[in-house]
């Protein structure tokens, strides 16, 4: 007679325990913590800093600049601090409400997407230039008969190509009755195809570039750049940077970091003991850290990454302007979706080594400064292949980075994501071969 034992506990646990557990994990981010607080803090701070009329005027200018890389909205001739913070609050509120309406859980990629949107609303994203992209993605969801909510991750990150909309609307000398509809069409067109291309682009770098949509947008931006150049449109809108708000931006990042860490410990006093578990993960796409660990562990990670960014900024005297602030926010957001202290420090070290070796100016060159933070797109390389592989990736990234902006013309705000895609595509197959990870170890039969 065959002894038979059915493990019914397992199916039961799936329905009852896991569903509730996951719901609670995500709910904390949504209701109690970071996102709503960030949203209201930005709006309140805007009114504390500037008069409503000044904010209104600044918003008008923010909405009508072409916004190509690098346009710092903090600059007084564009928006100023109050209007920029209001821009952040508006775009964050729109996305927050959208997520609530669609009943999407606050998973790691969604948290990363919201932080990224908040950061890039300092230098390129507005509600006006992102709305047509959402519309394009929505139309694709109708075309593919797939719920729009399934495309939310791509939608959140696809807003990085907002400048294509602004540039067509306000950067070409066309009458507004032509340029504005044309800009909307450009956004819809881009949004419609982005999901298809993003899914396939991921295979190019095998998930080792966390800014996959940034890479995808870079490919599209390259086509737009070629088109505009061939018809003789000047894409050189110059670099606008404003370093006058260094201290307040530094304090905002410090506040968010400390708040995250405090929330982590309040939610789970033993969070520090659990944190090393997160550090063991490679972070390769698509790692939802909230799902794989817990909300307090992720909050701690976000806070520590924020402190790491501030520490690096302080040590190397990198001024915190709009774009650098955006970089820091993005690093923190991806603390829920692939980045942690261990894999980030490695790639950041690579950029610092390259900067010293090639005498790159971290303080005054915005491209170099941004590279130091956004190189963390390649953090999974360090997570999988170790510290020195991460340093190598960071080093190579700084070599490739200046080429990327030339190709994509500044339409893709995630220039580092575009560069990182190429770096990962070249390095990862090589690392696979030369490290022991690519070689089958002596495995003994277990059955």
- The answer to whether the beta carbons of residues 414 and 117 sit under 8 Å apart is no
The nearer residue to other proteins, 65 or 285, going by C-beta atoms, is 285
The nearer residue to other proteins, 50 or 288, going by C-beta atoms, is 288
- The answer to whether the beta carbons of residues 78 and 240 sit under 8 Å apart is yes
The nearer residue to other proteins, 199 or 234, going by C-beta atoms, is 199
The nearer residue to other proteins, 104 or 271, going by C-beta atoms, is 104
Report the candidate in 210, 310, 213 with the shortest Cα–Cα distance to residue 260: 310
| Cβ at position 355, least distance to other proteins in Å | 31
The nearer residue to other proteins, 60 or 438, going by C-beta atoms, is 438
- The answer to whether the beta carbons of residues 51 and 86 sit under 8 Å apart is no
The nearer residue to other proteins, 3 or 236, going by C-beta atoms, is 3
- The answer to whether the beta carbons of residues 349 and 356 sit under 8 Å apart is no
Distance, CA of 90 to chain centre: 18
Give residues in contact with other proteins (CB under 8 A). Answer: 2-7, 10-11, 13-14, 18-19, 22, 104-105, 107, 109-110, 145-147, 149-154, 195, 198-200, 202-203, 206-207, 212, 281-282, 284-288, 291-292, 384, 437, 440, 443-447
| Cβ at position 245, least distance to other proteins in Å | 34
Give the position of tokens 């990042």.
253
- The answer to whether the beta carbons of residues 149 and 178 sit under 8 Å apart is no
| Cβ at position 218, least distance to other proteins in Å | 18
The nearer residue to other proteins, 46 or 377, going by C-beta atoms, is 377
Distance, CA of 121 to chain centre: 12
| Cβ at position 279, least distance to other proteins in Å | 12
| Cβ at position 65, least distance to other proteins in Å | 31
The nearer residue to other proteins, 1 or 175, going by C-beta atoms, is 1
The nearer residue to other proteins, 340 or 397, going by C-beta atoms, is 340
At residue 324's C-alpha, the angle toward residues 123 and 117, to 5°, is 50
3-state secondary structure 85-117: HHHHHHHHHHHHHHHHHCCCCCCHHHHHHHHHH
The SS3 call for residue 202 is helix
In terms of Cβ atoms closer than 10 Å to its own Cβ (0-12, 13-18, 19+), residue 386 is middle
- What is the Cα–Cα distance from 296 to 348, expressed in whole angstroms? 25
Cis amide linkage into residue 286, ω under 30° from 0: yes
| Cβ at position 196, least distance to other proteins in Å | 11
- What is the Cα–Cα distance from 261 to 81, expressed in whole angstroms? 26
| Cβ at position 7, least distance to other proteins in Å | 4
- The answer to whether the beta carbons of residues 63 and 128 sit under 8 Å apart is yes
Tell me the CA distances in angstroms from 394 to 3, 317, 399, one per residue in order.
57, 19, 9
| Cβ at position 68, least distance to other proteins in Å | 27
The nearer residue to other proteins, 131 or 424, going by C-beta atoms, is 424
| Cβ at position 118, least distance to other proteins in Å | 20
- What is the Cα–Cα distance from 337 to 316, expressed in whole angstroms? 27
| Cβ at position 174, least distance to other proteins in Å | 36
| Cβ at position 368, least distance to other proteins in Å | 30
DSSP for 122-176, please give it: TTT--HHHHHHHHHHHHHHHHHTT--GGGGHHHHHHHGGGHHHHHHHHHTSS--H
The nearer residue to other proteins, 127 or 153, going by C-beta atoms, is 153
- The answer to whether the beta carbons of residues 358 and 398 sit under 8 Å apart is yes
- The answer to whether the beta carbons of residues 64 and 58 sit under 8 Å apart is no
């Amino acid at each position: 007679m065959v002894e038979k034992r059915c493990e019914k506990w397992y199916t039961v646990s799936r329905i009852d325990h896991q569903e509730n557990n996951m719901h609670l994990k995500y709910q904390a981010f949504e209701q109690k913590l970071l996102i709503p607080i960030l949203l209201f803090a930005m709006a309140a701070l805007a009114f504390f800093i500037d008069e409503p009329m000044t904010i209104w005027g600044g918003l008008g200018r923010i909405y009508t600049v072409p916004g190509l890389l690098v346009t710092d909205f903090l600059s007084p001739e564009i928006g100023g601090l109050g209007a920029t913070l209001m821009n952040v609050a508006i775009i964050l509120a729109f996305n927050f409400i959208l997520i609530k309406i669609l009943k999407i859980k606050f998973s790691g990629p969604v948290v990363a997407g919201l932080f990224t949107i908040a950061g890039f609303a300092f230098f390129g994203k507005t509600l006006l230039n992102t709305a047509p992209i959402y519309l394009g993605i929505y139309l694709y969801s109708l075309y593919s008969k797939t719920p729009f909510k399934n495309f939310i991750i791509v939608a959140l990150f696809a807003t990085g190509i907002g400048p294509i909309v602004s540039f067509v609307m306000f950067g070409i000398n066309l009458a507004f009755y032509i340029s504005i509809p044309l800009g909307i069409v450009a956004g819809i067109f881009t949004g419609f195809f982005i999901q298809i291309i993003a899914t396939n682009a991921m295979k190019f770098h095998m998930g080792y570039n966390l800014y996959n949509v940034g890479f995808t947008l870079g490919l599209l931006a390259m086509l737009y750049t070629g088109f505009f150049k061939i018809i003789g449109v000047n894409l050189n809108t110059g670099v606008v940077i404003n370093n006058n708000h260094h201290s307040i931006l530094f304090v905002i990042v410090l506040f968010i970091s400390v708040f995250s860490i405090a929330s982590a410990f309040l939610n789970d006093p033993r969070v520090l003991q659990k944190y090393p578990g997160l550090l063991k993960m490679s972070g390769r796409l698509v790692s939802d850290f909230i799902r794989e660990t817990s909300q307090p562990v992720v909050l701690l990670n976000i806070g520590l990454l924020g402190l790491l960014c501030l520490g690096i900024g302080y040590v190397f005297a990198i001024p915190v302007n709009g774009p650098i602030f955006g970089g820091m926010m993005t690093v923190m957001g991806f603390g829920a979706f692939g980045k942690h202290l261990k894999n980030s420090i490695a790639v950041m070290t690579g950029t610092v080594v390259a900067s010293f070796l090639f005498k790159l100016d971290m303080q005054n060159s915005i491209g170099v400064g941004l590279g130091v933070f956004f190189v963390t797109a390649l953090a999974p390389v360090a997570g999988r292949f170790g510290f020195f592989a991460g340093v190598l990736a960071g080093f190579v990234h700084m070599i490739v980075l200046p080429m990327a902006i030339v190709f994509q013309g500044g339409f893709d705000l995630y220039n580092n994501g575009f560069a990182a895609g190429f770096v990962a595509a070249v390095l990862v197959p090589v690392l696979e071969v030369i490290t022991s990870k690519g070689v089958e170890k002596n495995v003994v039969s277990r059955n």
